[in-house]
Amino acid sequence: MSDKVLITGGAGYIGSHTAWAFLDRGYRVVVLDDLSTGFESSVPASARFVRTRLDDIGSVREVLAAERPAGVIHFAGSTVVPESVAEPARYYTNNTANSLALFDACAEAGVGTVIFSSTAAVYGITGSAPVAETAPTAPISPYGWSKLFTERMLQDIAQARGMSAGILRYFNVAGADGQLRTGQLTRGATHLIKVAVECAVGARPAIEVFGDDYDTPDGTCVRDFIHVSDLAEAHVLAFERLHADGGQLLLNCGYGRGYSVRQVLDTVTALAGPIAARHASRRPGDAPSVVADTRALRNTLPWSPRYTDLRDIVATALAWERAQQSARPRLAESA
């Protein structure tokens, strides 16, 4: 079998961790990214990097024809829920229309397996109980709808064209590579743990808590946080399963346990000292509680997560942020 995979969005946060996960397993990796939100410095040196836009489908087809990967791991897209509410057309273009062209190109190029980066946002309002893959899908944001439409397109195209397909629905991704080879560099990040550790190292003055009157134990939103390296490992295992056996997979990726915004801030404080937090109005598109039922993931793949404790997730995010802070003066001096 071919030992090469192509990763779209591989210069981004989750994509770069997944590139490392495949490389660590002995695969050859090609990263395709336009660097609109990603960073070339996040691409592993041993991966081949191709800078191109996903909507330049001619260029994408050329890369697929030249590289002939066994699988495509598709991350490239827009991911900010409130932004999708303000700019829905952008999200349907970036996440849905561009993915349609990519999946068609993969089928034409004879790619055997495609794995798509989806989201728990496809479920909408879920309540406090863990949500399984069989739960109704009723997104409450254009972001969630753009991902749900893309899921269905991949399933239909894969069925018609003889590809195997994996859809991984992420819950809240956080943390950084334990060896600090990569981490989250997103400018103006909105992810809770990222913003909190930026506050802890002085990169931000304060963090806003969007709503404290939700129907949750402490009034703040509850989320299931999954460490990015554990999520990256799930991609490798899903690819290997599909490449060997074919078919389709639809799997939630989380730990099956929720933590509130307040609990996250308390954990950051315990590890790094007090941070400034101020309350703000609810954001559009935020659900009160979203926690994964992960039985399908654990029963389908030989997945053994390493970072299931919130404290461990925060610790790696904090270590990454401290490393970035210490590097900034040296970068400034060399500029």
Catalytic residue ranges: 143
Q: From CA 63, how far away is CA 67, in angstroms rounded?
A: 6
143 CB-contact burial (10 Å; exposed 0-12 / middle 13-18 / buried 19+)? buried
Residues with Cβ within 8 Å of 36's Cβ and at least 6 positions away in sequence, in order, are 53
Instruction: Encode burial over 146-175: b for 16+ CB neighbours within 10 A, e otherwise.
Output: bbbbbbebbbebbeeeebbbbbbbbbbbbb
SS3 call for 222: strand
Give CA angle at 252 (261, 49), nearest 5°.
90
Q: How many CB atoms lie within 10 A of CB 301?
A: 18
Residues with Cβ within 8 Å of 20's Cβ and at least 6 positions away in sequence, in order, are 44, 177, 181, 182, 232
Pairing relationship of beta strands 71-74 and 113-119 according to DSSP bridges = parallel
Greatest CA separation for the chain:
56
* Alpha helices, DSSP H, located in the chain: 13-24, 57-67, 81-86, 88-91, 98-109, 142-161, 192-200, 228-245, 261-272, 295-300, 310-334
